[in-house]
Chains A and B, each alone.
Chain A
Amino acid sequence: MELDNRTIEKFSRQILMDEIGYDGQLRLLSETVWLTGPDPWRAWAARYLRAAGLEVKESPAVKTSRNLRLIASSGRCPDLVIPVSGEGGQTMVAMGLAMTQWLRTLASGEMEA
Chain B
Amino acid sequence: MRAAIVGGGAIGSPLAMQLAHDPVIEELRVIDADRIALSNLPRQPWFNETDIGDFKAECLVRYAPERLTARVEALTNDNAARLLAGCDIVFDASDNWPARMAIQQWSFQTGAPWIFASALRAEGMSALLSPKTQCLFCLFGTLQQGPRCFEAGVLGTLTLAVAGQAVTLWELWREHPDDVQYWPQGLFLVDGVQGAVTKIGMKAVQCTHGAR
**In the complex, chain B residues whose CB is within 8 Å of the CB of A91:** 164
Q: Does A3 interact with chain B (Cβ within 8 Å)?
A: no
Q: Does B57 interact with chain A (Cβ within 8 Å)?
A: no
Q: Does B12 interact with chain A (Cβ within 8 Å)?
A: no
CB distance from A112 to the nearest CB of B (A): 21
Contacting B161 at CB < 8 Å: which of A17, A51, A100?
A100
Whether the Cβ atoms of A92 and B153 lie closer than 8 Å is no
Interface hits, B14-57 → A, CB 8 Å = 14, 18, 21-22, 38-39, 41-46
Contacting A103 at CB < 8 Å: which of B22, B152, B157, B165?
B157
Interface 1/0 per residue, B121-153 and A, CB below 8 Å: 110000000000000000000000000011111
**In the complex, chain B residues whose CB is within 8 Å of the CB of A88:** 18, 21-22, 164, 167, 171
Count of CB-CB pairs between chains A and B under 8 Å: 134
Whether the Cβ atoms of A92 and B42 lie closer than 8 Å is no
Which secondary structure dominates chain B's binding surface?
Answer: helix
Contacting B155 at CB < 8 Å: which of A6, A10, A103?
A103
How many angstroms between the C-alpha atoms of A91 and B160 in the bound complex? 10
Besides the contacts A11-B39, A16-B152, A89-B166, what 16 more A-B pairs have beta carbons closer than 8 Å? Answer: A6-B38, A10-B39, A12-B153, A13-B154, A17-B121, A51-B44, A88-B167, A89-B167, A92-B18, A93-B168, A94-B164, A97-B158, A97-B190, A100-B155, A100-B161, A101-B195
Q: Tell me the B residues contacting A by CB distance below 8 Å.
A: 14, 18, 21-22, 38-39, 41-46, 121-122, 149-171, 190-193, 195-197
Q: Tell me the A residues contacting B by CB distance below 8 Å.
A: 6, 9-17, 19-20, 44, 47-48, 50-53, 87-101, 103-104
